Amino acid sequence: MLNSKDLLGIKELTEQEILLILDTAAGFKDIIGRDIKKVPTLRGKTTVNLFFEPSTRTRTSFELAAKRLSTDVVNFSVPTSSVVKGESLLDTVLTVQALGADFIIIRHSSSGAPHLISRKLRASIINAGDGTNEHPTQALLDAFTIKEKKGKIGGLDIAIVGDIAHSRVAKSNIYCLTKLGANVRLIGPPTLIPKEIEDLGVGVFHNMEDGIRDADVLMMLRIQTERQDKGFFPSTEEYSKNWCLTSDRITLVKDNAIVMHPGPMNRGIEIVSEIADGPRSVILEQVTNGIAVRMAVMYLLAGVKR
């Protein structure tokens, strides 16, 4: 059983809750691999996808997860909604709830937006990415993928490379992987790794070669090219020269190491195509696993007593 009706972040979960979600997801992965991919588990429930930031991948993944559990799904499209008329976030979500939503999947540019609405709503809130805070289902699907590939998470050396400071994916993964006992290393330029982050129990490397040596798992993050305008690094060329996962650098990791990326990728900037499409890459399996993990989250949240 999960302790809360909402999934706001990995921070808020215990190790046991994370493991429960991963175990439950394994069952759902079997189901979505079948010819008939749908179960009637949540028939009669309503899911609203409330995305205040553009997203195709995550929104589609949640939509499929919700549909395979037989909930009705509505995509609340922000550009055509009253939000553009200046409606407040709380008014918007109260309206969505009044329409009968049982699950509200929210993505918002403000950190803490899901926390704010969760206090005011009976519906289950699932954080699909809030500002630079968390993206919990991404971390759960990453953990699921690692566990599937490596058989365990505890004790693995896992390197996360890129813009840690602005990445909610990195934050959720740090919480998730450290709770599950992995050794997490962060790699990137000092401008993109907050110095306080070491207090979360992770190692910090600015030299890519040092950081990825003998790693079991490499997680590459998308570099937002607009960070260059704010002076976080001088050019994408220089970024790549120092922190791109190249064919030379990949020789430093363990022989059976896997390479992950939450997408969308900047090929040639943070990862070269030879690796993204190569034998170590589990990038497309991450996408498939995302549906199973999101089904598990919704299924478990539906069972939480109010």
Please state the closest distance from residue 194 (CB atom) to another protein, in A: 5
Q: Does residue 280 interact with another protein by CB under 8 A?
A: no
- Tell me which residues in 174-203 interact with another protein (CB under 8 A): 194, 196-197, 199-200
Q: Does residue 113 interact with another protein by CB under 8 A?
A: yes
Please state the closest distance from residue 127 (CB atom) to another protein, in A: 11
Q: Does residue 107 interact with another protein by CB under 8 A?
A: no
Coil vs helix vs strand at 221: coil
Q: Find out whether 50 and 96 touch, Cβ atoms under 8 Å.
A: yes
Please state the closest distance from residue 111 (CB atom) to another protein, in A: 4
Q: Does residue 131 interact with another protein by CB under 8 A?
A: yes
Q: Does residue 116 interact with another protein by CB under 8 A?
A: yes
Segment interacting with another protein (CB under 8 A) among 86-94, 233-241, 250-258, 270-278: 86-94
Q: Which of residues 89 and 265 has its CB atom nearest to another protein in the complex?
A: 89
Token pair, residue 55, equals 């997203």
Q: Does residue 81 interact with another protein by CB under 8 A?
A: no
Q: Find out whether 293 and 140 touch, Cβ atoms under 8 Å.
A: yes
Residue 90: phi, psi to the nearest 5? -65, -40
Segment interacting with another protein (CB under 8 A) among 39-47, 82-90, 139-147, 244-252: 82-90
Please state the closest distance from residue 214 (CB atom) to another protein, in A: 27
Q: Find out whether 6 and 106 touch, Cβ atoms under 8 Å.
A: no
Question: For another protein, which residue of 14, 82, 88, 225 counts as binding (CB under 8 A)?
Answer: 88
Q: Which of residues 71 and 118 has its CB atom nearest to another protein in the complex?
A: 118
Dihedral (C-alpha) 295, 298, 302, 303: value to the nearest 10 degrees? 60
Segment interacting with another protein (CB under 8 A) among 24-32, 129-137, 182-190, 221-229: 129-137
Token pair, residue 176, equals 């998730």
Q: Which of residues 132 and 236 has its CB atom nearest to another protein in the complex?
A: 132
Q: How far apart are CA 174 and CA 216, in angstroms?
A: 15
Q: How far apart are CA 13 and CA 20, in angstroms?
A: 11
Q: Which of residues 88 and 235 has its CB atom nearest to another protein in the complex?
A: 88
Please state the closest distance from residue 168 (CB atom) to another protein, in A: 6
Token pair, residue 105, equals 């999947």
Spell out the residues 6+ positions from residue 158 whose beta carbon is closer than 8 angstroms to its own: 146, 177, 182, 183, 184, 185, 215, 216, 217, 218, 219
**Sheet of strand 157-161, all strands in order from the earlier edge strand to the far edge:** 203-205, 183-187, 157-161, 217-220, 258-260
Q: Find out whether 243 and 161 touch, Cβ atoms under 8 Å.
A: yes
Q: Does residue 130 interact with another protein by CB under 8 A?
A: yes
Count of CB atoms situated within 10 Å of the CB of 51: 20
- Tell me which residues in 144-173 interact with another protein (CB under 8 A): 168, 171
Segment interacting with another protein (CB under 8 A) among 111-119, 214-222, 245-253, 256-264: 111-119
Q: How far apart are CA 141 and CA 152, in angstroms?
A: 14
Size of the site for another protein (CB under 8 A): 23
Q: Given the rule CB under 8 A, which residues bind another protein?
A: 11, 88-90, 108, 110-113, 115-116, 130-134, 168, 171, 194, 196-197, 199-200
